[in-house]
Amino acid sequence: MAWGFDDLLLNILFILFFLLFVPLILDQINTSHSKKKWIMIVSFNLAVISCMIFPIIYEDGILADLRYLAVLVGGLYGGWIANVSLLLTNIIFRFVFDGPGTYTNIILATLHFLLITFTYRQFKLLSKTKKIIFSSTLALLSSAVTIGIILIAFDNFITIYTGLFFIVLQTLCIALIIYITEIMRETRMLKIRTEKMELVSQLASSISHEVRNPLTVVRGFLQLLQQVELPKKKKEEYVKLAISEIDRAESIIGDYLTFAKPSKEKEEFLNTKEELERALEVIKPLANMNSVAIETAFHPCWIRGDKQLFQQCLLNITKNCIEAMPNGGTLRIHTHFDGNKVVIHVSDNGIGMTEEQQRRLGEPYYTTKGKKGTGLGMMVAFRIIENFNGSISVSSELHKGTTFTLCLPTLNTDTEEVASTKE
């Protein structure tokens, strides 16, 4: 009894495409980890469906396929959600195609589901070599059990040699897939580490440059106070300037520390309406100085996070908007709900930004203010929102204005429950 090798190669192609090529493409796309995870779960299921639609056909018309390769890899890497979805896909589509082996498939699908359920957590803790050995052992066990059940359920369905070929094929295929997957993961981690080292280098340059300037000024004033007889009023003026420069240096260092290691130790329930109103009270004097009017439309909503960091983020963004309107304008802030997220829009009608400026906003030591800015303020804002498991996007047009959109996850409870918990 011979295999249909064209069909076998097609099944292998499906496995390689959905299990290796799709994640390789996803690595090049800048999107959230959550979206990538769901795309991969869909990809695992498509691999199963494709193998079932285009099975491997024996000479006498008996069908087989490599779907359980996708089930094993998808379950081990995708976790329990992927495991459940693959079980349901496997059973439902087998019922759709009907034919002999439908109930045998339910037994096999359930056994694979249970096998993966009890092993996927241990699998994630293993090294690359141990993962290959572990997954190959699972594939060997899976293939042997599958062949055994088929031999029991369908007499003379396959020969011993065909069964052995099937077992060896699945074992080698999964070893290769796990090996390439782990190489891809190592490459991704190396890229992240390289980017972090580059970031550290940029930050070190930024901090040393920005802190050195105010310290040089302070040193100069202290030398003047020490060496020259000055009127009392002049001394007070120099001391005041020296203190302001020290405050500036402290602010830069504080921004750097916030970016480098935002704290989660002070997490609490925050009412976005109250926090926005509090931030506006602080920023109003600066708005008045720049002839900037403020328009608001807030809805009460609860999020979880550090109050001080959230205030710092709001102040950095609103300050950036106000400074973008040197000749006056309107600062608009409004909120709305989008599913289980609260969306905060902060917009101005100031000088706006080019596409290049928008793309680089939030990078270390990149500023749209020339020599007046350090770039740390917006970098900190981006880092804080990221720490809140949220996202921040920017849309802008030159000479028309800029809009910052903050998306933050809301708490899955109503206001009264949160308030009582807070008390």
420 CB-near residues (< 8 Å, 6+ apart): none
CB atoms within 10 A of CB 161: 9
What pTM was estimated for this model as a whole?
0.55
Q: Give the burial class of 108: count Cβ atoms within 10 A of its Cβ; 0-12 exposed, 13-18 middle, 19 or more buried.
A: buried
pLDDT: is 187 or 60 the higher one?
Answer: 187
Whether the per-residue pLDDT at 31 is higher than 80: the answer is no
Where in the chain is CATH 3.30.565.10? 267-422
| pLDDT at site 200 | 60
Where in the chain is CATH 1.10.1760? 5-194
In the chain, the largest separation of any two C-alpha atoms, in whole Å, equals 109
Residue 16, H or E segment? helix 5-16
DSSP per-residue letters across 22-79: HHHHHHTS---HHHHHHHHHHHHHHHHHHHHHS-EE-TTS-EE--HHHHHHHHHHHHH
Confidence of residue 46 (pLDDT cuts 50, 70, 90): very high
Return the CATH number of 206-260, one of 3.30.390.30, 1.10.287.130, 3.90.550.10, 3.30.70.270.
Answer: 1.10.287.130
Whether the per-residue pLDDT at 343 is higher than 80: the answer is yes
- Taking only Cα atoms into account, the Rg of the chain, rounded to an integer number of angstroms, comes to 30
Return the CATH number of 267-422, one of 3.20.20.140, 3.30.565.10, 3.90.1150.10, 3.40.50.300.
Answer: 3.30.565.10
Long-range residue pairs from 85-88, CB within 8 A, at least 24 positions apart, any chain = 85/41, 85/44, 85/45, 86/44, 86/45, 86/48, 86/113, 87/112, 87/113
| pLDDT at site 423 | 38
DSSP 8-state assignment for residue 398: T
d(CA 279, CA 247): 20
- Return the C-alpha torsion angle 296, 390, 43, 24, nearest 10: 120
Q: Domain 5-194 adopts which CATH fold?
A: Arp2/3 complex 21 kDa subunit ARPC3 (1.10.1760)
Confidence of residue 10 (pLDDT cuts 50, 70, 90): very high
Percent with pLDDT over 90 in the chain: 30
| pLDDT at site 99 | 61
d(CA 280, CA 389): 24
- Return the C-alpha torsion angle 343, 346, 347, 351, nearest 10: -130
Instruction: Return the minimum-mean-pLDDT range out of 158-162, 168-172, 311-315.
Output: 158-162
- Return the C-alpha torsion angle 172, 9, 39, 362, nearest 10: 80
Strand-strand pairing, 329-338 and 391-397: unpaired
Determine contact, residues 351/293, Cβ cutoff 8 Å. no
Q: Take residue 347 and report the two structure tokens written for it.
A: 């917009």
| pLDDT at site 154 | 64
User: Token pair 């080698």 is at which residue?
Assistant: 172
Determine contact, residues 362/379, Cβ cutoff 8 Å. yes
d(CA 237, CA 156): 100
Determine contact, residues 71/30, Cβ cutoff 8 Å. no
| pLDDT at site 406 | 94
Cα angle at 401 between 398 and 407, to 5 degrees? 120
| pLDDT at site 98 | 62
Whether the per-residue pLDDT at 417 is higher than 50: the answer is no
User: Token pair 């270390």 is at which residue?
Assistant: 364
| Gap between the terminal Cα atoms of the chain | 74
Cα 184 from chain centroid (whole Å): 18
What would the mean pLDDT of 183-195 be, rounded to a whole number? Answer: 80
The tens digit of pLDDT for each residue in 131-166 reads 999 999 999 988 888 877 777 766 655 667 777 888
Whether the per-residue pLDDT at 1 is higher than 90: the answer is no
The mean of the pLDDT values for the chain is 81
Where in the chain is CATH 1.10.287.130? 206-260
Cα angle at 45 between 43 and 51, to 5 degrees? 105
| pLDDT at site 142 | 86
Whether the per-residue pLDDT at 57 is higher than 70: the answer is yes
